[in-house]
Chains A and B, each alone.
Chain A
Amino acid sequence: MTEMTVLEAIRTSLDEEMAEDDGILVLGEDVEAGGVFRATEGLAKRYPGRVVDMPLAESSIVGVAIGAAHYGLKPIAEIQFADFIHAGFDHLFSEASRWSYRTRGDSWLPMVVRAPWGGGVHGGQHHSQSIEAYYSHMPGIKVVAPSFPADYHSLLKAAIADPNPVLFLEHKRTYRLIRQDLEAGPAEKKIGHSRITRTGRDITIVAYGLMLHESLAAAEALGAEGIECTVVDLLTLQPLDAETMLEAARATGKVLVVHEDNLTGGFGAEVAALVAEHAFEHLDAPVRRLAAPDVPAMPYQRAMEEFFMPNREKIAEAGRALAAF
């Protein structure tokens, strides 16, 4: 049995892949010392010269990774906190996302950008953000947001093997919170697949990251009340596996989508639109979105942070109302 935290699963994946392929370089701030979350701990010593401390400049981290990938290496860029990735937005959006498109496949970028995202860690406005909506609006970039250690392990390997730029989102609250036996758990090996994690006849809850775990806890509580939930773990946001989610929506007729990001223009809007467009005749209730309020960012102080974030109680409450509709 190899029970691991999310963080250990990520580190193991990096280690295993770097051992296999000497073309993998890790680029990021403080990564030689293991990084602030220690995801790269031990790698600099094991793979001399292949773990590269970068200046404190995210545009450089992403831009240099693009160049290294263009040359033919497999750079894995670490953004210290997803909140700071926006200085590299231009390189992801204007460059990496269209490197293959604009050259008609003459050039491509086998690169991974890892970014710890999400709240619940008292990180305030700039260490808690959800960034997925911005970066899922870029055809050409793949966006992966797992929830369980086994999926982190297998999907990070898939991201490294992928010939395209992959933004690999790691929910920082789950880093040490969630444990799993890697061999026992299902491990998704393909980017672009979602998973039905729990099956129930009454409502479908769609989530990813920390909110997937909160949704499963809410589903457990609702089950005790006689409300049976299907829970869909999206795993990949771009390209999105619409069919798995739609299958669940058609089966239950009621859909609740949950995320930590602000409501308006959040990823839930895409889920709701797909369900409305392709499963309308199966619906028994309007699609419900449970998300953070439309304020600019997550506040620091504990009570406000809790108010901002969805959690198992809020999900259960929304689920109850949806089931009763």
Chain B
Amino acid sequence: MNRVPGYSLSESECEDMYYYMLLARRLSERMLTLNRQGRAAFVIAGAGQEAAQVGAAMALSKGVDFAAPYYRDLAVNLVLGMDAREAMLNVLGKKDDPNGGGRQMPAHWGNASRRIVTQSSVVATQLLHACGIALAARHRDDPIVVYASCGEGSTSRGDFHEALNFAAIKKLPVIFFIENNGFAITSRTDKEMPLQHVADRARAYGMQSAVVDGMDAVAVYQTVKPAVDQARRGGGPHLIEAKCYRLWAHSSDDDDSRYRTKAELEEWSRKDPVVVFRARVEEDSIFPPDHLDEIESRVADEVTEATAWALAQPDPEPEDALGFVYKDEER
């Protein structure tokens, strides 16, 4: 594989990187439109975190490694195989939403065949589930890595600390990936912890750690990939903190003008990871002229097609609220 100098990625991987970041952003924008149109009751997105998510997910072995993502990780799911149609089925709570057919709020991912672990709205629980998966895989001599992510707000929960402790004790192949977007809904990081970096917690658990610029997809990939490789070889867990910025409100139900200024938002918007990545690959002339515009146009078509298609798909029947309470009870 010919790597593009400075990127640790092939040209086609660079294209993938841009494609997934852009697809996540455009899907999220369309979801918000659907919300404002009254067609989607709730939207929670990862705008501003696409670089962190794509950079990390591309370091995983798709379909082999497990991912226990959190609700902002749309881009992680896209890298691991979810397509635009499925993303739209999910936000619309359609019957065929592969994440659970409208039983959970949108963005609560789960797909066993893709090794994406179902999650609840209770934050940080998935970090312990990730440890269990890693422990079980080791029992089967299965050389997988488990990606487990959460926001920095979730690191206040006991489960975060318990998971780090257990993973370190057992030297489990878990990548704890913290997307520090600066906000726990309205609360700034200084209300969650007296430290500048979540990653500093790692030392207390005897774990390797790194802080990376989460607005830079390539830097994230270059940080996560060696950690994944090392974990796969038995090197134990890593705590990686990606410094991001939440460009949107917490959710479609939140008004962020109550707690942040326009000036702050404008300053961070200049660091928008999707825009920054495009500017960088343009400057480095990685692709032929117009190629990025072609990707833009392909993504726009994909989002439009997926939206129209998903809107036409059936809703669950009311009685679909029943069934699958137990494994052996089908419906």
Contact = CB atoms under 8 A, between A and B. Distances in A.
A100 B327 contact: yes
A318 B117 CA distance: 51
Given A73-B139, A100-B326, A103-B112, A68 B159 contact: no
A63 interface: yes
Contact of B125 (A91, A102, A164): A91
Interface stretch (B19-27, B79-87, B96-104, B189-197): B96-104
A104 B100 CA distance: 5
A60 B328 CA distance: 27
Contacts of B133: 67-68, 70-71
Given A94-B125, A105-B327, A55 B165 contact: yes
B132 to A, nearest CB: 2
The bracket for how many chain B residues form the interface is: 35 or more
Interface bin, chain A: 35 or more
A99 interface: yes
Contact of B135 (A64, A95, A99): A64
A71 B162 CA distance: 20
A23 B131 CA distance: 17
B231 interface: no
Interface in B233-288: none
B30 interface: no
Which of A50, A72, A139 has the most chain B CB atoms inside 10 A of its CB? A72
A34 B148 CA distance: 32
B327 A59 contact: no
B328 A163 contact: yes
B220 interface: no
A18 B278 CA distance: 56
Nearest to A108: B327
B136 A107 contact: no
Nearest to B148: A67
Contacts of A102: 100, 103-104, 108, 110, 118, 120
A307 interface: no
Q: What are the 10 closest A-B residue pairs judged by CB atoms, nearest first? A: A67-B132, A63-B128, A71-B136, A163-B327, A108-B327, A67-B129, A64-B132, A68-B136, A68-B132, A105-B324
27 contacts: A25-B136, A25-B139, A52-B135, A55-B169, A57-B158, A59-B158, A60-B131, A60-B162, A63-B131, A64-B128, A66-B128, A66-B132, A67-B128, A67-B136, A68-B139, A71-B132, A71-B140, A73-B139, A94-B122, A98-B120, A102-B100, A103-B118, A104-B324, A106-B111, A106-B118, A142-B326, A163-B326
Interface of A: 23, 25, 49-50, 52, 54-55, 57, 59-60, 63-73, 75, 90-91, 94-95, 98-108, 110, 139-140, 142, 163-164
